């Protein structure tokens, strides 16, 4: 009898006498054959098999399909051989358990039972019948996969105990790839890479873990994984001998946060609103204050309080360059986990899902196209759909939505928020809206929006003032981990920073980096620090410039690049835009993270704070700014070509009006697709100006003017519409 080789791990493959046989054409035939082989201990009735594999057909058609599949199996094996392996009568069929064959599933489990783990791992090419998704498979797939993961873990630990780090790393990587949501698997790779002195490999594994969690689960690495990452950086920077932190200063040991000081009353007030939300009394909390006063730091504590109470938390942010329409709201909705998104999508009226689909596909699902309405009603319908989405989220779980930097919000976002917060008083939904008071007052639409919210009965306004002298002293003490500091030092620091927490922290960091934080100088009245050693200045910009001067050229080039970009960048994007080699760019990012010039945001990086961005950017000459914008445009174009708003921003600032106009037109089209007509007008205004700058062909300028006129007509802006018509007449061909 011919020997048959059956391989079901990682796919489906048959061989006889060392020769691979043709693939069974029908998927159902492959599934049926595998089922018979794996369940060969007993015969199976033909009726049962027909009903299991062709449940959608009536009995007679299902039996015919079964006969066709069995014929296909016998033909592929060879008629005589097939008859010997598939045995049975008119009513039953089974795979001959005594036939001459080998089965990789049996070999895998036999190796495990014999404790030959290395052999078992070698045999396991992939999941059972990978690519097939029949119901009968799931239990066996899960069982075998679980045994494989356990085997890989045992093999890795065994190799580690023998000192075989290279072998352990190979199998740890495979485990992290096959079980990609298992953070411990990623941490194991990181630990082994560090033991081998390959810190860059450990850092890249952390980045991969952070990317997977962000993209697939909408989450971030655990505190344990982040701590290992930071320890990896410290070990690398110390040459494999990580040193203890200098002088025991908590401000510089913690990842990114200064101690939480002086906002206990505000936090308590907000906690009351969280409790109200749990009871079905939603609304909005406004958090106002100038740059650096601690709005984000307060929000971080509030988010922790919300998680503790069981609220879901979503986060969105407006940016100075504008970004896509409804940017902060869309960002918040995109942070919804896949399970919750499916739940909400299933509960929404299909009409709302259809409207939401272009803005947030996860909630739009496979809804049919939205019913057409009058153009003048499209904006209102989009705002109502966004409201339905957030209220739908709150119906499943109490939800806190944090919207930062509302002073930069686009007009369409402002209108959507105004409509939404007026309807959520009885929902388990709370919005936290932060803004800079001075900049908000400079925009009439934003200020009117905030005044409207402030008048609502379910709105609470929290104003953050600069620190008092006592709060300043507490921040210094807790930042430095000291029981007391010189009153002269704290008073002077309060006076020259105006009590702004960010300025205080930046001053302390500047002192720290100059080794001017001697304990003897700070904790005693008898030895106050000398004035000429304090790099204090009425303009805190000078302090940040002083810190920047300590950077080496690669780190300085990298922070200039990051500061020019408005938003977050992945490591790949930084490498593509940088003039540095890949390893040098990675080292520069690590250096900037360690010094807190940049922060990690999910799988990406961003400037530490807006003040840092302004100091770096303002210090660049125009030619340098233009060059950086040009290189950033190329990187964004390579990695996320659909981010047309960001591409338009970079090409405009690179003084490349032709490319800018191209992306501005696309940005306007996208805004129109989600009925954000106010945003579309801004893009078309800029596109027209860019086309005029290069004296573009008349037909192109006519097309933009025509689109401009169409949008202005929807908005009812008749005077501006007449100007657009005049422009159309001017460029009519």
User: Using CA atoms, how far apart are residues 357 and 152, in angstroms rounded to an integer?
Assistant: 42
In a domain, 552, yes or no: no
Q: Is residue 542 part of a domain?
A: yes
Tell me the CATH number at 383. Answer: 3.40.50.300
d(CA 133, CA 153): 27
User: Which pLDDT score, from 0 to 100, does residue 255 have?
Assistant: 39
Same domain? 492 vs 359: no
- Tens digit of each residue's pLDDT (9 = 90 or more) over 31-46: 899 999 998 888 899 8
Domain finish residue from 547, 578, 605 = 547
- Residue 315 — pLDDT band, cuts 50, 70, 90? very high
In angstroms and rounded to an integer, the radius of gyration of the C-alpha atoms of the chain is 32
Give a yes or no: residue 449 inside a domain.
Answer: yes
SS (H, E, C) 617-634: HHCCCHHHHHHHHHHHHH
**Residue found under tokens 């003490």:** 477
Beta-bridged to residue 599, according to DSSP, are: 606
Same domain, 340 and 409: yes
pLDDT at 528: 34
Q: Do 396 and 503 sit in the same domain of this protein?
A: no
Q: For residue 534, what pLDDT is reported?
A: 38
**Residues 676-729 pLDDT 10s:** 999 999 999 999 999 998 888 999 999 999 999 999 998 888 999 999 999 899
SS3 assignment, position 88: strand
119 domain residue, yes or no: no
Chain-centre distance for alpha carbon 278: 27
Query: What pLDDT does 373 receive?
Result: 76
Q: What are the tokens at 730?
A: 């001017």
Whether residue 338 sits in one domain with residue 287: yes
pTM of the model: 0.58
Which tokens sit at 33?
Answer: 């054959």
- In CATH, what number is assigned to the domain containing residue 681? 1.25.40.10
d(CA 428, CA 412): 24
Quick check: 375 pLDDT over 90? no
Other beta carbons within 10 Å of 416:
26
Query: For position 251, what pLDDT does the model report?
Result: 55
Residue 496 and residue 403 in one domain:
no
DSSP 128: B
Handedness of CA 35, 38, 42, 43 (dihedral sign): positive
| Residues above pLDDT 70, as percent of the chain | 91
On whether both 541 and 660 belong to a single domain, the answer is no
- DSSP symbol at 221: -
> What SS3 class is residue 9?
strand
Q: What is the pLDDT, as a whole number, of residue 664? A: 94
Mean pLDDT of 476-502: 81
Domain C-terminal end among 520, 547, 574 = 547
- Of the candidates 425, 277, 403, the one whose C-alpha atom is nearest the C-alpha of residue 333 is 403
Decide if pLDDT at 523 tops 70.
no
Provide the strand spans (E) within 537-650.
569-570, 598-601, 604-607
Q: Answer yes or no: is 726 within a domain.
A: yes
Q: For residue 182, with 0-12 CB atoms within 10 Å meaning exposed, 13-18 middle and 19 or more buried, which class applies?
A: middle
Residue 490 and residue 450 in one domain: no
pLDDT at 443 over 80: yes
Is 221 contained in some domain? no
Residue 715 resides in a domain: yes
Enumerate residues 6+ apart whose C-beta is below 8 A from 435: 286, 287, 288, 405, 406, 407, 446, 450
Burial, 114: exposed, middle or buried (Cβ in 10 Å; 0-12, 13-18, 19+)?
exposed
Q: Residue 688 is part of which domain span?
A: 642-733
Lowest mean pLDDT among 217-221, 376-380, 509-513, 652-656: 509-513
Residues 437 and 532 in one domain: no
CA atoms within 13 A on the CB side of 612: 24
**pLDDT exceeds 50 at position 587:** yes
Residue 19 has pLDDT above 90, yes or no: no
C-alpha distances in Å from residue 322, one per residue of 41, 561, 590, 629, 644 = 66, 19, 29, 16, 12
**pLDDT value at position 539?**
47
Domain contains 327? yes
Contacts of 118 (CB under 8 A, 6+ apart): 155
Residues 330 and 431 reside in one and the same domain: yes
Residue 17: which pLDDT band, with cuts at 50, 70 and 90?
confident
Per-residue pLDDT band for 401 (boundaries 50, 70, 90) equals very high
Domain count for the chain, please give it. Answer: 3
- Which tokens sit at 335? 């942070």
Average pLDDT, the chain: 84
Q: Are residues 453 and 344 in the same domain?
A: yes
Question: Tens digits of per-residue pLDDT, 98-125?
Answer: 888 899 999 999 998 888 888 998 899 8
For residues 523 and 483, is the Cβ–Cβ distance under 8 A?
A: yes
Statement to judge: residues 431 and 498 lie in one domain: no
The torsion region of residue 596 among left (phi > 0), alpha (psi -120 to 50) and beta comes to: left
| pLDDT per position as a tens digit, 273-293 | 998 998 889 999 999 988 888
Does 426 lie in the same domain as 479?
no
Q: How far apart are CA 693 and CA 308, in angstroms?
A: 55
420-448 as b/e: b if 16+ CB within 10 A: bbeebbebbbbbbbbbbbebbeebeebbe
Looking at 547, 565, 581, the residue that finishes a domain is 547
CB 447 within 8 A of CB 441: yes
Phi, psi of 658 (to 5 degrees): -65, -50
* Nearest in space to 544 (alpha carbons), one of 505, 578, 599: 505
Region of 481 on the Ramachandran plot (φ > 0 left; ψ -120 to 50 alpha; else beta): left
């Amino acid at each position: 009898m011919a020997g048959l080789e059956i391989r079901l791990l990682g796919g489906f493959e048959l061989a006889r006498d060392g020769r691979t046989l043709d693939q069974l054409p029908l998927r159902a035939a492959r599934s049926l054959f595998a089922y018979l082989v794996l369940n060969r201990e007993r015969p199976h009735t033909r009726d049962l098999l027909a009903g299991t594999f062709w449940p959608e057909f009536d009995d007679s058609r299902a039996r015919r399909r079964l006969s066709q599949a069995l014929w296909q199996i016998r033909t592929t094996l060879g008629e005589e051989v097939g008859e010997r392996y598939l045995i049975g009568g008119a009513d039953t069929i089974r795979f001959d358990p005594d036939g001459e064959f080998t089965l990789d599933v049996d070999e895998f489990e036999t190796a495990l039972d014999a404790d030959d783990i290395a052999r078992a791992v070698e045999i396991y090419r992939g999941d059972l019948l990978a690519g097939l998704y029949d119901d009968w498979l799931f239990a066996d797939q899960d069982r075998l996969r679980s045994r494989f993961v356990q085997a890989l873990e045992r093999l890795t630990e065994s190799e580690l105990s023998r000192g075989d780090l290279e072998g352990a790393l190979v199998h740890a990587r495979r485990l992290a790839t096959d079980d990609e949501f298992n953070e411990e698997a990623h941490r194991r790779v990181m630990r082994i890479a560090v033991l081998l002195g390959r810190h860059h490999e450990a850092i890249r594994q952390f980045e991969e873990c952070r990317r997977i969690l962000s993209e697939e689960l909408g989450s971030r690495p655990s505190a344990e994984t982040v701590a290992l990452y930071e320890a990896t950086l410290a070990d690398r920077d110390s040459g494999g001998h990580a040193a203890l932190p200098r002088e025991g200063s908590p401000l510089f040991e913690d990842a990114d946060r200064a101690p939480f000081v002086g906002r206990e009353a505000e936090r308590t007030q907000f906690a009351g609103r969280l409790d109200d939300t749990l009871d079905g009394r939603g609304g909005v909390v406004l958090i106002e204050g100038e740059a650096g006063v601690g709005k984000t730091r307060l929000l971080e504590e509030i988010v922790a309080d919300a998680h503790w109470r069981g609220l879901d938390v979503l986060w969105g942010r407006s940016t100075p360059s504008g970004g896509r329409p409804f940017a902060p709201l869309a960002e918040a909705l995109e942070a919804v986990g896949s399970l919750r998104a499916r739940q909400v999508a299933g509960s929404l009226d299909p009409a709302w899902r259809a409207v939401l689909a272009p803005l947030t596909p996860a909630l739009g699902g496979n809804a049919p196209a939205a019913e057409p309405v009058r153009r003048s009603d499209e904006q209102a319908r989009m705002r109502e759909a966004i409201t339905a989405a957030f209220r739908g989220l709150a119906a499943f779980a109490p939800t806190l939505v944090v919207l930062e930097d509302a002073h930069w919000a686009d007009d369409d976002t402002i209108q959507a928020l105004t409509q939404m917060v007026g309807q959520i008083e009885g929902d388990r939904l709370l919005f936290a809206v932060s803004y800079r008071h001075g900049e908000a007052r400079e925009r009439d639409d934003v200020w009117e929006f905030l005044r409207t919210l402030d008048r609502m009965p379910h709105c609470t306004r929290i104003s953050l003032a600069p620190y008092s002298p006592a709060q300043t002293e507490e921040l210094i003490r807790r930042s430095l981990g000291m029981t007391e500091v010189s009153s002269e030092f704290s008073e002077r620091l309060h006076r020259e920073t105006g009590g702004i927490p960010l300025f205080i922290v930046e001053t302390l960091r500047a002192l720290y980096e100059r080794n001017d934080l001697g304990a003897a100088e700070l904790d005693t009245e008898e030895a106050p620090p000398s004035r000429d050693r304090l790099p204090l200045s009425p303009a805190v910009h000078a302090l940040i410039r002083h810190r920047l001067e300590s950077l080496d050229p690669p780190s300085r080039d990298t922070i200039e690049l990051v500061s020019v970009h408005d938003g977050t960048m992945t490591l790949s994007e930084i490498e593509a835009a940088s003039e540095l080699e890949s390893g040098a760019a990675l080292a520069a990012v690590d250096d900037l993270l360690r010094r807190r010039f940049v922060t990690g945001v999910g799988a990406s990086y961003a400037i530490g704070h807006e003040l840092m961005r302004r100091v770096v950017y303002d210090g660049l000459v125009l030619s340098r700014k233009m060059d950086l914008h040009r290189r950033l445009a190329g990187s964004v174009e390579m990695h996320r070509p659909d981010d047309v708003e960001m591409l338009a921003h970079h090409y405009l600032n690179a003084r490349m009006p032709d490319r800018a106009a191209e992306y501005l037109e696309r940005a306007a089209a996208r805004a129109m697709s989600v009925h954000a007509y106010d945003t579309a007008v801004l893009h078309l205004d800029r596109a027209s100006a860019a086309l005029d700058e290069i004296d573009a062909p008349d037909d192109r300028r006519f097309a933009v003017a025509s689109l401009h006129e169409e949008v202005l007509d929807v908005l009812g802006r008749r005077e501006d519409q007449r100007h657009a018509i005049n422009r159309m007449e001017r460029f009519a061909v």
